[in-house]
Amino acid sequence: MKAVKIIVSFIGVLLLVFLATGMIVEETKYTTEIKINKPVAEVFSAFTNQELLKEWIPEIESMETIIETPNKVGSKYKMVIVSEGEKVEMLEEVLAYELNKKMTFSFDADDMLKTDAYSFSEKGNATLITKESICKSDSYLMSCMFPYFKGILRDIDQGYLDKFKMVVEKNK
């Protein structure tokens, strides 16, 4: 009986810590980056080319323009992602755009709200892309989970940047 009390107490403490995470950590932040052996203008052009998007993010099933503004800021798109056999609709909005320098997106997918800020800098004949990501949720339970999946989220985003590098460096 003593072992059962210890196990129940341990589970209770773990549950308490998990639920407290949502109050303590409001958003999960992480950074990824990649160096691409092409000039910044060529890299930025490839990055903004929607036809190449599926080559480095193969989970995208479709992308539909809702509104597109001349300066890109405020442009909105509806994306359908297929992940592990499940379709997820996502709303994407361009928050910042500076040619060959930066691009910031917000994504709203179910319980996940994500902001990705990409900055492009020239390093000799190469380009360094630095991506600052912030994940949060309207759902309290999802907010509790994000900090524990930070490494997985970072690995997924790094994988996309690695694929993007391969796409850009193989072209031309």
Residue 44: CATH number of its domain: 3.30.530.20
Q: Is residue 16 over pLDDT 70?
A: no
Q: Which whole number is the average pLDDT over 117-145?
A: 87
The confidence score (pLDDT) of residue 31 equals 96
> Each residue of 46-92: pLDDT tens digit?
999 988 889 999 999 999 999 999 989 999 999 998 988 889 899 99
Question: First CA to last CA across the chain, in angstroms?
Answer: 70
Examine the pLDDT at 18 and tell me if it is beyond 70: no
Residue 80 inside a domain? The answer is no
Least confident range from 11-25, 73-87, 96-110, 155-169: namely 11-25
- The answer to whether residue 79 is domain-embedded is no
Angle at 128 between CA 105 and CA 90, to 5 degrees: 20
With respect to residue 21, please indicate whether it lies within any of the assigned structural domains.
yes
Domain count, the chain: 1
Least reliable range by pLDDT among 10-14, 97-101, 112-116, 165-169: 10-14
76 inside domain: no
Within a domain: 63: no
The answer to whether position 28 is within a domain reads yes
Residue 111 has pLDDT above 90, yes or no: no
Query: Residue 158 falls within a domain, yes or no?
Result: yes
Q: pLDDT over 90 for what percent of the chain?
A: 56
Residue-range definition of the domain harbouring residue 36: 2-57+96-170
- CA gap 123, 113 in Å, rounded: 32
User: Which two structure tokens, joined as six digits, stand for 101?
Assistant: 């320098």
Asked if residue 134 belongs to a domain, the reply is yes
- Residue 129, pLDDT > 90, answer yes
pLDDT, position 128:
96
In this prediction the pTM is 0.84
